[in-house]
Amino acid sequence: MEPSELYARLQEELDDVTAMRYLRAIKKRATHYPLQYITGFTYFLEYEFLCRENVLIPRYDTENVVFRALEMSPDRNMKVLDMCTGSGCIGISFQLMRRDDEYDDEVYLVDVSDDAVSLACDNADSLNSDVRVVKSDLFDALQDENGNPHIKFDMIMCNPPYIRTKDIYNLMKDVRDFEPRLALDGSSDGLEFYRIITKEASRFLNENGIIVYEIGCEQYLDVRDILKENGFQDIHRLMDMSGLDRVVSAVL
């Protein structure tokens, strides 16, 4: 309930069933089990997203990917890909906010995880979004056996795994012990997925196609160089509310 409702009902006695549910939740949270997995939802931008185990919990900082993508969007309908979609928060939020401006974008959400694909579908349904959810190891399901793309996009948005393997163990216990390593581990230097996705993106983007990445706070220069090596231009970074590098965008 909203805080105002809670304050208005402070003198109300809980029934036994609700009290036991609350105590069980507190006990579980005391183990550092993520709150969002307990409640089953979190907010991303203005939308309520379902949360479940084995899928990365949407973060406030990731909203910057959507903000940058909206800023770079042309005044026309687009084909858009949300790679490594997880819960679907980036692609679904982008589509819904563009829909408010009367655009009818064709948005694809891609993830290799069965749990993520299932949750992204459920979030799309609960938020009345008609995004297309695809199970794929990066671009595999979007191309034929000869590597020819089935579809080309005007924009790719992506929050890939970017934590260095050795740094996984230094993460907060909530994240390290309970969120999926598949969505966190970006290899020894944290850059593996940027290399793979950026190299492949040139085949899957239309002319003047846009790419928008979330990055770790120390990765801008490395990701910038990867983008340059693969023919991207107009490379810009966006900082988060803490003044840390958070998003990189570029144009093919």
Euclidean distance between CA atoms 193 and 216, whole angstroms: 13
Whether 85 contacts 111, CB under 8 Å: yes
Per-residue pLDDT at 241? 87
Whether 33 contacts 62, CB under 8 Å: no
Euclidean distance between CA atoms 235 and 99, whole angstroms: 27
Mean pLDDT by 10 residues, the chain (252 residues): 89 93 95 95 95 95 96 95 97 96 96 97 97 95 88 96 90 90 89 94 94 94 96 94 93 94
